[in-house]
Amino acid sequence: MLTNVKLLNDFKAFLLRGNVVDLAVGIVIGAAFGAVVTGLVADLITPIIAAIFGKNDFSALSFTVHHSKFLYGDFINKLLTFFLVAAAVFFFVVTPIQALIQRSRREAPPDPTTKKCPECISEIPLDARRCAFCTQPVS
């Protein structure tokens, strides 16, 4: 009985970890986004392409070979949907995240190794106590 409770607690901890919940949310949002893009292709883009071919429903474009029907219009619909989803993910998710990663990876400029002499404005090492050019003491 005690091991079952521990097992259930471990399972609960696994489910509530951040990356599992994030993945579930991502899948749900991705499915909803896919439905929106599918609607965009079927309801807006397909009629434009269908007008070029002279048919009312682009997804109904097909040909038959030996009583086998090939729905190439439906395939093109799905191909357009795939490319639009891929483009949206690339431009609205991947590109901004890559920009954020690049910003976070920028290194701070290195610490200076020299300083200017207050008398002659020459570059001298940071540890120098006297300028090598004008021999003035430097604090």
CATH number for the domain that contains residue 99: 1.10.1200.120
CB 124 within 8 A of CB 117: yes
The closest of 80, 74, 85, 68 to 31, measured between CA atoms, is: 85
Domain enclosing residue 52, as ranges: 2-106
Mean pLDDT, range 40-49, rounded to an integer: 77
Global pTM exceeds 0.85: no
Question: Could you tell me the two tokens for 31?
Answer: 């499915």
Give the model's confidence band at 68: pLDDT under 50 very low, under 70 low, under 90 confident, else very high: very high
Q: Is the pLDDT of residue 133 over 70?
A: yes
Please check whether residues 84 and 139 belong to one and the same domain. no
User: Using CA atoms, how far apart are residues 55 and 11, in angstroms rounded to an integer?
Assistant: 55
9-18, 100-109, 128-137: range with highest mean pLDDT: 128-137
Please check whether residues 10 and 48 belong to one and the same domain. yes
Instruction: Give me the number of domains the chain comprises.
Output: 2
Residues 6 or more apart in contact with residue 46 via CB below 8 angstroms:
57, 58, 59, 77, 80
* Mean pLDDT taken over the chain: 82
Q: Is the pLDDT of residue 65 over 90?
A: yes
Please check whether residues 29 and 46 belong to one and the same domain. yes
Please check whether residues 121 and 59 belong to one and the same domain. no
Q: Which pLDDT does position 1 carry in this prediction?
A: 58
Please check whether residues 99 and 79 belong to one and the same domain. yes
Please check whether residues 85 and 122 belong to one and the same domain. no
The SS3 call for residue 119 is coil
H-helix or E-strand spanning residue 107: none
Please check whether residues 93 and 38 belong to one and the same domain. yes
